Amino acid sequence: MSYELSESFPGVVYWCLNDDSWTMLRADGGCSALTGYECDILESSSVTFGHDLIHPDDRRRVSKDVQRSLAEGEAFEVAYRIETKHGDVKWVHESGHGVSKAGATQVPGTTGEIGSTGLDDQSKDTPMLIEGYIREIATERPLASEQRRKAQLLDSVFDSIPIHLFVKDRDGRHLYVSEEHTEAYDGVMIGKTDLELCGVDESHRKEAYEDDMHVIETGEPILDKEEYINSSEKWNLTSKVPWRGPSGEIRGLIGLSRDITERKRRQEEVERQRDRLEQFARVVSHDLRNPLNVAQGRVELAKHAAETEAPTAHLETTQNALDRMQQLLADLLTLARSGQPEFTSTTVLLDSVATDAWQTVPTDGLTLAIETEQKAIEAEESRLRQLFENLFNNAAEHAQPASKESETTVCVGCLDAGFYVSDTGPGIPKPARSDVFQPGYSTEVGGTGFGLAIVQEIADAHGWETQLTESEAGGARFEFRDVKVVNGK
């Protein structure tokens, strides 16, 4: 195009890269009349159309409209404002279309292939070049003004609504995308399918794309689907419905997704608290049985002893059992109020706590041997006592002697960083050792199966390691390690 013709041409014909700056590879026509800059200034990128000329208030809208049309493989038309070199504001109309690498050979008037621009790594179907025409218009036409107003309203909704809105074409490519949640994705979403996005788990992207195709191909919506994003540890609630054209044909889909991570966490916390309340209620009812049995037995003995001897000793034991029941009920009340039992570790003596626990368990036929040498540890005394009670009660149920003439010994002893409770009973077979700590597991008719589960829970709460082995006499031996020892005695 001659210089005279270029200057008199009512507008600018251009070829530019498909980037944010609209880097001009070639510009012909009345550049100076339209923008105040000569064409070679635009071609040198000293001044860029995208960053320097388009009005700041219009840049985002124009970019979205152009990229959306390019993604659909269609030509585009946009009206917007530019700021000239001299500070004037003009309305312009621009029309253009994308040229892919497969269809671009050489920009007129330049030397070298398009590939030399550094975009060789783009796929052949990606619009790498834009060819278009820009001309000044006197003002924004009324119809265009109304369309722009609606477009701005739609953009405002997509930019500000606190949920992720998106529109996709029949191939599952994003045409409209709101800002919410997009920070999880690395790069631009417009024109890409979920499979082509980065920054999110591949399994999630694949499942999302399969859901897109299901909605588009069948016309069946997907409503309120909970999706877990492993890479960000978040939950989304997603719905997708068909996007239909004027004749009812499916043109793609419309979807929305919102973050429900906090709701899921609250829901899971409520479920955990409910399960813990139910479990702890069963635990307390189970543990109440031991002192209750002791109290009932001692009351009967006291009745008979009243005729021949003073019942004081029986009443004292009964009182101890009732005190223990009161403590267990207090723990349950604390749990119901706070959602978890209070837990404060103090320095306690193993032999003292074990001896107290022995008094509230029916141990006829059993003998207690304490070999802890007043070893002091850090523990919550009430829970430690409960642990001993359950182990002693387990021995009373499963390690009773074969005859009245013989006895079973229950021993509480020391380890380097912990303690153990063993007995001289028949022991627990190896195949069953992994099951005995499971809630509800019991080999006794009428047994609740919570005794050893409670032991495991108490040990876990203290951070202790629990191991079930065989004692020297062939009985059961429960070892507790990683216990904080206060002294070496």
Mean pLDDT, rounded, for 56-78: 86
Report the Cα 482 to chain-centroid distance in Å: 31
- pLDDT, position 315: 75
Selected from 1.20.1070, 1.20.1640, 1.10.3470, 1.10.287, the CATH number assigned to the domain covering 267-340 reads 1.10.287
Measured CA to CA, the distance from residue 370 to residue 393 in angstroms comes to 16
pLDDT for position 37: 93
All structural domains of the chain with their residue ranges: 3-139, 161-259, 267-340, 343-489
Kindly give the residue spans of alpha helices, DSSP state H, lying in 50-191: 56-71, 142-160
**Out of 213-217, 401-405, 407-411, least confident range:** 401-405
Max CA separation in the chain (angstroms): 134
CATH code, 343-489: 3.30.565.10
Element (H, E) at 29: strand 24-29
**Are 130 and 97 within 8 A, CB to CB?**
yes
Q: Is the pLDDT of residue 121 over 50?
A: no
Q: What's the fold here for domain 3-139? A: Beta-Lactamase (3.30.450)
The 3-state DSSP class for residue 272 equals helix
**How much is the pLDDT for 339?**
46
Cα 469 from Cα 457, distance rounded (Å): 18
Q: Is the pTM of this model over 0.95?
A: no
Q: Please state the separation of Cα 106 from the chain's center in Å.
A: 50
Distances, alpha carbon 166 to alpha carbons 54, 184, 346, 406, 486, in Å: 26, 15, 57, 79, 61
DSSP 185-208: SSS--BT--GGG--SS-HHHHHHH
- Mean pLDDT is lowest, of 2-11, 181-190, 210-219, 267-276, for 2-11
pLDDT of residue 188: 73
Fold of 161-259: Beta-Lactamase (3.30.450)
Of 89-103, 286-300, 453-467, least confident by mean pLDDT is 286-300
Return the amino acid letter for 469: T
* Contacts by residues 203-209 (CB-CB < 8 Å, ≥ 24 positions apart): 203/230, 204/228, 204/229, 204/230, 204/231, 208/238, 209/172
- The per-residue pLDDT for 120 is 46
Q: What is the pLDDT of residue 220?
A: 94
Least confident of 98-102, 220-224, 344-348, 373-377: 98-102
- For strands 408-415 and 346-349, give the pairing: unpaired
Residue carrying structure tokens 């919410």 = 180
The most confident of 43-47, 290-294, 452-456, by mean pLDDT: 43-47
Identify the band that residue 447 occupies on the pLDDT scale cut at 50, 70 and 90: very low
User: Residue 158: which pLDDT band, with cuts at 50, 70 and 90?
Assistant: low
Give just the sign of the alpha carbon dihedral 180, 181, 183, 189. negative
Rounded Cα gap, residues 112 and 116, in angstroms: 7
% pLDDT > 70, the chain: 74
Same fold, 3-139 and 161-259: yes
- pLDDT of 52: 92
Quick check: 422 and 399 in contact, CB under 8 A? no
The shares of helix, strand and coil residues in the chain, as percent rounded to the nearest 5, are 40, 25, 35
DSSP state for residue 195 in the 8-state scheme: G
Question: Is residue 144 within 8 Å of 36, Cβ to Cβ?
Answer: no
Rounded (10°) CA dihedral 289, 290, 291, 294: 110
Distance CA 137, CA 13 (A): 15
**Contact at 8 Å (CB) between 486 and 418?**
no
The vertex-82 CA angle with 148 and 69, nearest 5°, equals 50
pLDDT at 481 exceeding the cut of 80: yes
For position 287, what pLDDT does the model report?
A: 65
Note the pLDDT tens digit of each residue in 10-66: 789 999 998 888 899 989 888 999 999 999 999 998 999 989 999 998 888 888 888
